Amino acid sequence: MSEELVLFDLPSKKEAGNRGWSGNTWKTRIVLNYKNIPYKTQWIEYPDIAATFASYGIPPNPASSSDATYTVPVVKFPNGDYLMQSYAIAQKLEELFPEPSLHLESDSYNKVVAAWSKIDPALAPETRPRVPKNILNPASVEYFERTRAARLGMTLEELSKSDKAGEAAWAAAEPGLQALKAVLTENSSGPYIDGDSVSYGDLALAGNYAFFGTIHEDLLKRLLSYDESLQRHYDACKKWLERSTF
């Protein structure tokens, strides 16, 4: 039996810091950091995900899901059980390690998802093309470029040069950024979405800060400069972003 939880995460290349970068896997890594749960990272490249997790007997994502058959994050618990999908993992970690609480009863996570679902696709021309260039190891570049081109209907190179890129991307993200500002300023009693109380929504949002910062610090600076509430929120959460490499 393993003495620690194992987090399966996507690695970045040496030039990007050999660290976790995906906003999705950060949803789990930051929960582990926040709760101070002992864990170790097992890096896995994109092309190895499906075969590896299938070999462990992990049930695939439902065919009706928009996700790939197998996705990260995955956690292996000390009893040998595996669990896929970040929210399901958060629920299990909250059950096993209830303090400090994620306050899953809060609506903060749904609010963050609603706002970020407008920001992320709008800024895709600024983020996605930089992932293979700035972050990925060679083993994952072809997979990422091929699958994202199929999803987007054009190559990442074409996307980066399209009329959706540059300032047009930030203009398109404006409604989502306004919604995020509203989420962060609704409660003025503290830096977190619910005021002084940290919830899962805060941690999920902070994982996206890590994604932007790994792509390029200028992207993170641009995001945080939108409103002082974002910078305040980042400052309150950044201590849980420090462990990113093991």
In this structure, the answer to whether residues 133 and 205 fall within a common structural domain is yes
Alpha-helical runs (H) found in the chain = 23-35, 49-55, 86-96, 108-127, 130, 138-152, 156-160, 167-172, 174-185, 200-215, 217-224, 228-237
Within a domain: 102 = no
Q: How many CB atoms lie within 10 A of CB 147?
A: 12
> What CATH number does residue 227 fall under?
1.20.1050.10
The pLDDT value recorded for residue 3 is 75
Asked if the structure places residue 46 within a domain, the reply is: yes
Those residues whose C-beta lies under 8 Å from the C-beta of residue 185, and which sit 6 or more positions away, are 227, 229
The domain boundary residue, chosen from 96, 117, 136: 96
Closest by CA to 83, choosing from 136, 27, 144, is 27
- Phi/psi for 192 (5° steps) reads -95, 170
Residue with tokens 């070999």: 55
Domain that holds residue 205: 108-241
pLDDT at 215: 95
- What pLDDT score does 65 carry? 82
CATH code at position 87: 3.40.30.10
Residues in the chain predicted with pLDDT less than 50, given as ranges, are: 1
* Whether 153 and 75 share a structural domain: no
Q: Are residues 117 and 206 in the same domain?
A: yes
Q: Which of 96, 122, 146 is the last residue of a domain?
A: 96
Q: Where among 96, 117, 133 does a domain terminate?
A: 96
Judgement on whether residues 148 and 34 belong to the same structural domain of the protein: no
Spell out the residues 6+ positions from residue 238 whose beta carbon is closer than 8 angstroms to its own: 206, 209
176 & 87 share domain: no
Do 22 and 52 fall within a single domain? Answer: yes
User: What per-residue confidence (pLDDT) applies to 1?
Assistant: 41
